Amino acid sequence: MTENNTKDQQHQQSDNNNDDNTSNQIIYQIDAHCHIHDTMLSDNSKTPSINNIPLQIQVKTSQLCEMGTTYYDWPTVSALHSHHPTRFIPAFGIHPWFVQRVPGLPENTQDPISTAEGLDIPDTWESELEAYLQKHPNAIVGEIGLDKKAVKGTTKLRFPFTSQIHLFNKQLDIATKFNRPVSIHCVKCQGSLLDILRNTPPSCLPPKIMLHSYSGSIESLKDFLSIPGGVGRDRIYVSFSKLVNGRNTEKFAEIIRAIPDNRVLIESDVDSMDDVDECMAFSENLVAVSKEWSIDECRKKVYENSCRFFGILDGGNEE
């Protein structure tokens, strides 16, 4: 028996024992957006190491949606879900910060550092994304999006926006083709995202759309919620995190109050399991105070919203 086979059996046994030692303390809440697999990549940041996948998931939050961002982390996201299928919802996508690694996009110039590190994304990425969605029927598409604020650390230049739009639209089309929800990163370009969603026929948009760690204005929020064709009314969900929304709780309390009760989600947006529960508790409290709900009422409503967004029936696991 190989070491990896032994590890696989240990993981299977762990899953059969509810994946953790705190099952009687589980909080039925879904972390709608996190990146804890970032700490599980092997040294070259390209391939997952089976030895880095934890045997037990020591968080009280019942499920976590694990966001792929680079193409090269998709195998790790897939492996994490395969070993802990009741605790993780996988998400596969290419974040706008990695747009210059993607071939064939307008405005794109080759990123010499990514090339030197062997991190250029192959032109097969679209078919590979589709293959992961086929492998994981409960997977969503994310983290995808648009960003006019972030700059590349090595050049201090913003990421080419026309390329971002092309990459975003390609991934939006794949999500629609497979009828999967999307998690969208949108920073300082709410108008551009609104234009895309308004000008795309509802039949060509995903069934559910999460505005992750929403950082826009209340005016933009109202515009998102009024996108015609039932998109704003039925498909837009808005999520909040300590990392982004904890910086100005008064502003975001007003925004949360403007969101329909059945469209609010919460997330940690962290890359360490040690931080998940604390960050989720912060987000839960932010929503509860803003909506004037008790914690128990907030937990119930947001969990139901999360189950609806992720397509989990009857408030339970889909597997």
- SS3 state at 115: helix
Element (H, E) at 299: helix 295-310
Q: How far apart are CA 172 and CA 184, in angstroms?
A: 10
Q: For residue 35, what is the DSSP state?
A: -
Length of the chain: 319
DSSP structure string for 148-217: SS-B-TTT-PBPPHHHHHHHHHHHHHHHHHTT--EEEEEES-HHHHHHHHHHS-GGGS-S-EEETT--S-
For tokens 């808005």, the residue is: 238
178 is written with which tokens? 């497979």
Q: How far apart are CA 162 and CA 141, in angstroms?
A: 20
The residue to which tokens 């990421």 are assigned? 159
Strand order in the sheet with 236-240: 27-34, 61-67, 88-92, 140-147, 182-187, 209-211, 236-240, 264-266
Planar angle of CA 185, 191, 194, nearest 5 degrees: 75
Annotated binding site for a divalent metal cation: 33, 35, 143, 185, 212, 269
The β-bridge partners of 158 are 151
Q: State how beta strands 182-187 and 209-211 pair.
A: parallel
d(CA 74, CA 68): 6
Binding site as annotated, residues: 33, 35, 143, 185, 212, 269
Cβ-proximal residues to 245 (8 Å cutoff; 6+ apart), any chain: 213, 214, 215, 252, 283, 286
Interatomic CA distance for residues 262 and 301, integer angstroms = 7
Tell me if 99 sits within 8 A of 160, measured CB to CB.
yes
